[in-house]
Amino acid sequence: MAFDSFSAFIAMEGHGPYVWACYAVFFVLMLLMMIGSVRSRKAIVESCRRGYEFQADKSKVAASPPPSASFARVNVSQD
Amino acid sequence: MWQFFHKLGSPKWFFGISTRFMPWLLAGGVILLMAGVVWGLAFAPEDYLQGNSYRIIFIHVPTAFMAQSVYIMMASAALVTLVWRMKLADVFVKAVAPVGLVLTFLALFTGAVWGKPTWGTWWIWDARLTSMLILMFLYGGVIALDRAINDEKSAARAVAVLVLVGVVNIPIIKYSVEWWNTLHQPATFKLTEKPSMPAEMWVPLLLSVLGLYLIFGWLACVRMQTEILSREQRTRWVREFVMKGRV
Amino acid sequence: MQFVHRPDFGALMSEPLLQAVNLQCERDKRILFRELSFSILPGTLTRVEGPNGSGKTTLLRILAGLNDAWTGELKWCGAPLASQREAFLRNMLYLGHRPGIKPLLTPLENLRALMAGRNPLSDAALRQALQGTGLGGYEDVPCRNLSAGQQRRVALARLLVADEPLWLLDEVFTAIDAEGVKALESLLQQRADEGGAVLVTTHHDLTLPGMKRLTLGAGGLPDER
Amino acid sequence: MNAEARPVVRLAGNSVGALAAMKGVFVRDMKVAFRQRQDLLNPLLFFVMVVTLFPLGVSPEVSFLREAGAGILWVAALLSVLLSLDHLFRHDFDDGTLEQLVLQPQPLFLLILAKTLVHWMLTGLPLVILTPVLGVMMHLDGNSIGILCLTLLIGTPVLSLIGAIGAALTLGLRSAGVLLSLLIIPLYIPVLIFGTGTVAAAAEGATVGAYLALLGAFLVLALTLAPFAAAAALKISLSNG
């Protein structure tokens, strides 16, 4: 141990704020990045699952071909 | 050999193998990094010149080192993207560019904070800090270009060109910034490790560099898997993985 | 309006000029077409057809080498296209949606610039070609003062002096009047009779004797590999 | 079908040499540029205006201007080149002539080199010619102005060449102008450092031959590599559009 006491360890002879600020920012950013990466991986798995379930539901209903264009005017009520 | 190469390019194969490696990477990385940091903070001897502020070195050097090597790795992957059109290579570039940006920012931040007790000022236009700042611009450009192009294949290839152009420029930038620095500030106090660093200092430093390397590997795997899942949604293996939880 | 044609060719070729094997194109995570295989023989006129969004333009851009988001195989005169790109480009004429005409230049200057890297011709020949598309008297007027149809005719003037055996024409009939469409149809026909290969996309009802059709589907469903 | 009935076509002959093709591109771009002469003045005006901001915004003191003058002129030149880069391929892209350029049976990088040469002759070169006037206004001495012009003469083609890569990469994108600057400015830094450093060294009485040679090396490097990168980037951008 390079320090005599815990308080000396925290103070670091006056350099404590600099050292601890660096380490704090380092760990906070690294943790945020790690958690963020894991969460976005989870999110994509979830969205895939929802997509597949939606597809499964839809394929129960008979697959119908997309309707062809009629260019019929849409009636918009004028009141 | 070619079969191996081909396999290496298969997202499915990568997904399986990386899932197996990831826990080890994370555990090893955290243990090494914590060992290095605790040793460096609490047990390494005080530096006779800079006092305790030098203890920032145990995260400054790893982040600065990683920031540069991540760019080199991206450039290698970019070359593979352009020459062999390997899917995994551009997934890698896209996945790790933000990590590189964060690491570069951390290197800059710790460098600046270290500067305050050492030089008495938060920022000096020191050669290392300046070229680190430019490296951060390069990362920013890569991410901005990737975001701006909708089509993912075009994005991957355009980014690969940009990364390669950047990597050709990195040595030139480094050299010119150093030259510029000597021109304007002939004798500054530099953030260099002294040549005869005692083992109690460099061993923890080595540990934290290795630890951060492994954590980067883990991060790269997680982010590449995310990217692969979103790209390969329509394949059978992703469906099986999502619905049944195995590859 | 009268189209004159001036063939000026090199080696003889009767084998397929362009071959596509198992062409597949994916855009924005949607399959445009797949397992598309065809050969383009000398002396054929082919119409690429399909509804909006079926990938007609994309197919032509892929064949021209402007789009490389595809898998499969493309061969030029029997050998892989990628290995003889310059020879292929010299033998292929592509006209796209955008006519490739600079509004600030005159028709003559535009035509000259378009031919500069291929086979530069005398101004007399270029003027004759412009007259052939009905632009006589407009040769030295900046193109921005011309109508959309006239600008398109500047691009079409290239067809009257082109020696490229393969033509890829994307929506060439756009903005051309009825008389011009007839003359253009007969030009394409004449070109095919001479042995040239023409691939054309159009929305107007083009039916010419001996015309082949290449039909693209309404776009693929999400792929299940 | 028997062999005789099969249609036969003659393949086209050789295309013209690459130099002739480059000349074609050069002549066309020059003509287009001189048909809208007023646009040629814009980067020059921008250059003069940016330079004017410094005496007004910082200080008109002779000592300040003499010390910062070369740097200000270099930064202003860099910015005005940057500003003009967005147009390098954009108009050609919009009217379809870029497609036809790429489809020429010629090495694309040479055609891009010709286009970049036109860009430099119409933006970089006029800036160099204008520099002595502004140098006098910044109270630079004759020797410094000479060296400054020389560095700009060697440096601005490098700016155009590197810029061509960025212009090709951002072609057809939303907010391409800002993105272009973000991508390109970091790559401009070495040129800026050596450009202004040479003038500073000359002011201190050092010989500048070695510095100019180094700038020349940048130019050679940019001439050999940048057109290839720009050609690759252009094909990617066209494939996207």
Q: Residue ranges of the domains in chain D?
A: 36-240
Provide the β-strand partners of residue C93.
C167
In a domain, C53, yes or no: yes
Query: What was the pLDDT predicted at D165?
Result: 96
Cα–Cα distances in Å, from D74 out to A30, B100, B124, D68, D123? Answer: 40, 31, 23, 10, 14
D214 phi and psi angles, rounded to 5 deg:
-65, -45
Could you tell me if C139 and C168 lie in one domain?
Answer: no
For B110, the enclosing helix (H) or strand (E) is: helix B87-119
In a domain, A54, yes or no: yes
Range of the domain at C152: 99-163
Neighbours of chain D (3+ CB pairs under 8 A): B, C
Q: What is the mean pLDDT of chain B?
A: 85
CA C175 to chain CA mean position, Å: 16
In a domain, C4, yes or no: no
In a domain, A68, yes or no: no
Give contacts of B174 with chain D, Cβ < 8 Å. Answer: none
CA–CA min distance C5, chain D (Å): 15
Could you tell me if C120 and C55 lie in one domain?
Answer: no
Could you tell me if C156 and C208 lie in one domain?
Answer: no
Interchain touch D–A (≥3 Cβ pairs closer than 8 Å): no
Q: How far apart are CA B68 and CA B9, in angstroms?
A: 25
Contact B234 C28 (CB under 8 A): no
Contact C98 D25 (CB under 8 A): no
For residue range D51-64, list pLDDT tens digits in order: 999 999 998 999 99
Put simply, whether B153 touches C (Cβ < 8 Å) is yes
Could you tell me if C168 and C103 lie in one domain?
Answer: no
Among C142, C163, C184, identify where a domain stops. Answer: C163
CA–CA min distance B162, chain A (Å): 25
In chain A, how many domains are there? Answer: 1
For residue range C121-179, list pLDDT tens digits in order: 899 999 999 999 988 888 899 999 999 899 999 999 999 998 889 999 998 888 888 88
In a domain, A48, yes or no: yes
Put simply, whether B161 touches D (Cβ < 8 Å) is yes
At residue C25, the 3 state secondary structure works out as strand
Neighbours of chain A (3+ CB pairs under 8 A): B
Q: Is the per-residue pLDDT at C220 higher than 50?
A: no
CA–CA min distance B57, chain D (Å): 27
CA–CA min distance A69, chain B (Å): 28
Could you tell me if C117 and C225 lie in one domain?
Answer: no
In a domain, C153, yes or no: yes
In chain C, how many domains are there? Answer: 2
Cα–Cα distances in Å, from D100 out to B94, C65, C114? Answer: 32, 11, 7
Q: Is the per-residue pLDDT at C222 higher than 50?
A: no
Query: What was the pLDDT predicted at D4?
Result: 52
In a domain, A7, yes or no: no
Contact D7 C100 (CB under 8 A): no
Could you tell me if C154 and C202 lie in one domain?
Answer: no
**Rounded to 5°, angle at Cα B73 from B67 and B76:** 145
In a domain, A2, yes or no: no
CA–CA min distance C75, chain B (Å): 20
Could you tell me if C138 and C168 lie in one domain?
Answer: no
Those residues of chain A whose CB sits closer than 8 Å to some CB in chain B are 1-3, 9, 12-16, 18-19, 21-23, 25-26, 29-30, 33-34, 37-38, 40-41, 44-45, 48-49, 51-52
Could you tell me if C135 and C174 lie in one domain?
Answer: no
Q: Is the per-residue pLDDT at C8 higher than 50?
A: no
Range of the domain at A49: 28-58
Residue type, B213: Y
For residue range D160-190, list pLDDT tens digits in order: 999 999 999 999 888 888 999 999 999 999 9
Could you tell me if C111 and C29 lie in one domain?
Answer: no
DSSP for B12-43 reads: HHHHHHHHHHHHHHHHHHHHHHHHHHHIIIII
pTM: 0.88
Structure tokens at C88: 């292929």
Residues 156-215 of C with CB under 8 A from B: none
Q: Is the per-residue pLDDT at C6 higher than 60?
A: no
Put simply, whether B246 touches C (Cβ < 8 Å) is no
CB nearest D12 (choices: C9, C67, C102) = C9
In a domain, A44, yes or no: yes
- What ipTM does this complex have? 0.85
Query: What was the pLDDT predicted at D215?
Result: 93
